[in-house]
A and B are shown apart, each in its own frame.
Chain A
């Protein structure tokens, strides 16, 4: 693979993410990592479900009383939209349109940052009313599950930003196309996890 190989939209391959053996290896390896992540989050979800509303006797917090749906709804919409914008970015990556790809990635990053900001606001609110990490088994499980997802969001954002800055001057090539593609896969996976978080933690929490 020659990193300096110049491409045109006509010569850019159909699947640049798997056009080289390195790309193909990264691609398969990353999907396997996502399979492992599925099990990781399942363990966190399972623990959350087992410890939901469990605390020292007389604990004043419960899922039904704690969660506020409007905020969660806003976060959900933002993250879902960012999933679409990253699809747009990959659409332009496949069309060898670097500028458009960077622009859509920038939008994705902004949406992700907004999501993260709202999550920090939410956590801060809980801690403020006394529902801190060490409050109970319930609080430990809740913060660990949702916080692990938040950490994934943070990592995904850092990854996008690093890729965008690193390649800003040199555009797309066979070396970085798989990286962009994998970062967007990661972003979709984060969205998948959030779908379960808003369903299992928040919606099922509110109805008790």
Chain B
């Protein structure tokens, strides 16, 4: 927490965060809520592993188990991984390109609140008649048959948070296209900015099919449409296609920013310029491009026909090429570097073999005939946890340690960080490596229990014990966070000592206008260049000190999201024949549209920070501007 926040009253701080349009505060909001959902998803994971610890266990009922696995997947993908990555993008990307702000500060806030209310809505299902239970992929034939309102919480909740993510994507894209500092050409952008750019492009083009699919599902279940109802001429495969046209790019939306974080870490902690920067950039773009042409490899067993399967199998295998290019570039970045094994670097080094293992099993599954054997088995579960935990979650943990000082101005403990790493890393491999073999032995995914005579007891017990280690690691991280906040030892601009990019050239946390003077970028690794030139200021300036224009805060994003949240309850209970449902639906929509109208009719021109105030700031003191 910034020291400024503590000086204000609690209520004032809450109000400040509710109305903020500052990308750094929005980053904190994303990190806190994403972290919260990460814990929720983690608890669900522990429930799954407890249930599967022995044969014939009755810790969870079959129905509850379905709800838990569905919510675990959905929460981890949509409400934990993506928001935490969005937190780092918000916190760091504008600083890396030398921008004072994002392109759409208001929309940035709206994006967060939509995600937040969507996530809350989805999780309220636990308390309002049962969670969704058709798997995180929510296949239509299961979803249409599901009783209660669980699936409706899923569709409406993801629709709301999906809008939020789309808005965030557009915001980042425009920020990178329009707001780069002078001299910051595309080929001088740090890798994390590049991966943010490509991931945002994927968000832009992949979320619409999901939104359309979710709308179909809402209309089918709540308003009597029949897109997926076979007896009415509908087709359940349409859902699968729409879901995976979104779903596969989604995997790259998660992994590309993770690659970006690791690229930064390898360069910083090897004290070397990234090897093959250009190749890394083009590999990123290629992965983004191919990401849209492989979705049907999730559907090999649906019966699309040998031609389609062959095309999608080949396209899938091709993706291994740009990914391989990246792996070798990282290895060659470390090669001959002056390496310091700080916590982020340990995660990065551990990431390489782990992710390669996940990639190799991915290529195995790309072979369509083999996939007929592996489909829906624990082999698949092992594979996607190797890429998502081994890639994305390791990057999130590494990024948390790397960027914590920049976001909060104080450093997480290295010692506890290493403990977290070893518990989490060993626990992870213990949990999931063995699941490959469970899959090969025939254990199907999503089963709530198994028989004692099936020979899966020992491996499941080992897997569950690994989960306990992972949970221990996360708990140590929480302790670390609390201790760090309590100690609150302030640090300077460049706490790692070897920062290469612009975010390390400014105070931690940065003032709310980021750069008093816009920097002039002279090449890749801007800050490093200035350091090597002995420039004590860390950058050269593109403009004289002058007034800065900043946007006003606003509560409207919160209200718009609240309106959608309320309207969703109306839609949800509409078909139950509850008389108040329609009123709630209309009321929520009215609130939403009215606040949108207020936003568009009221001029919001922002305010100026004067040169005098900037000079005052430079002497030390106020970094908050209020």
A residues lining the B interface (CB < 8 Å): 1, 3, 21, 24-25, 28-29, 32-33, 35-37, 39-40, 43-44, 47, 50-51, 54-56, 59, 133-134, 136-138, 140-141, 144, 162, 166, 175
Contacts and interface: CB of A to CB of B under 8 A. Distances in A.
Given A28-B174, A55-B233, 6 more contacts: A35-B204, A43-B208, A47-B216, A59-B233, A136-B232, A140-B234
Contacts of A133: 223-225
Q: Could you say which interface size class chain B belongs to?
A: 35 or more
Contact of B242 (A28, A43, A59): A43
B601 A3 contact: no
22 contacts: A21-B179, A25-B104, A28-B173, A28-B174, A29-B103, A32-B170, A36-B208, A43-B209, A43-B245, A47-B227, A56-B232, A133-B223, A133-B224, A133-B225, A136-B233, A137-B233, A137-B235, A140-B219, A140-B220, A144-B216, A166-B601, A175-B603
A29 B104 contact: yes
Contacts of B207: 36
Contact of B227 (A35, A40, A51, A162): A51
A149 to B, nearest CB: 13
Contacts of B603: 3, 175
Contacts of B229: 137
A166 B601 CA distance: 7
B171 interface: yes
Best-buried of B220, B226, B235, B605 by chain A (most CB within 10 Å): B226
Interface of B: 103-104, 166, 170-171, 173-174, 177-179, 204-205, 207-209, 211-213, 215-216, 219-220, 223-227, 229, 231-235, 238, 242, 245, 597, 600-601, 603, 605
Contacts of A138: 233
A162 B601 contact: yes
B605 A21 contact: no
Best-buried of A28, A36, A43, A59 by chain B (most CB within 10 Å): A43
A134 B235 contact: no
Contacts of B223: 133-134
A56 B179 CA distance: 54
Contacts of B226: 134, 136-137, 140
A185 to B, nearest CB: 15
A75 B234 CA distance: 29
Contacts of A1: 605
A175 B209 CA distance: 33
Nearest to B215: A144
A28 B234 contact: no
Given A39-B205, A134-B224, A140-B219, A162 B235 contact: no
Given A28-B177, A29-B174, A51-B227, A43 B205 contact: no
A180 B223 CA distance: 36
Contacts of B605: 1, 3, 175
Contacts of A50: 235, 238
Contacts of B166: 36
Nearest to B220: A140
Contacts of A33: 170
A54 B233 CA distance: 5
B233 A24 contact: no
Contacts of B174: 25, 28-29, 32
Best-buried of A47, A133, A134, A137 by chain B (most CB within 10 Å): A137
A43 B211 CA distance: 10
B178 A24 contact: yes
A54 B225 contact: no
B234 A137 contact: yes
A39 B223 CA distance: 24
A62 B597 CA distance: 41
Contacts of B238: 47, 50-51
Given A47-B238, A136-B233, A140-B227, A32 B212 contact: no
A37 B211 CA distance: 11
A141 B227 contact: yes
B225 A21 contact: no
Nearest to B200: A32
A158 to B, nearest CB: 9
A140 B229 CA distance: 11
B208 A162 contact: no
Nearest to A165: B601
A51 B233 contact: yes
A40 B104 contact: no
Contacts of B242: 43, 47
Given A56-B233, A137-B229, A32 B204 contact: yes
| Top 8 A-B residue pairs of the complex, sorted by shortest distance between their CB atoms | A54-B233, A137-B233, A134-B224, A140-B225, A40-B208, A55-B233, A43-B212, A137-B234
A47 B232 contact: no
Nearest to B231: A56
B171 A39 contact: no
B357 to A, nearest CB: 33
Best-buried of B170, B234, B605 by chain A (most CB within 10 Å): B234
Contacts of B235: 50-51, 54, 137
Contacts of A166: 600-601
A129 to B, nearest CB: 18
A56 to B, nearest CB: 5
A28 B178 CA distance: 8
A134 B234 CA distance: 11
B524 to A, nearest CB: 24
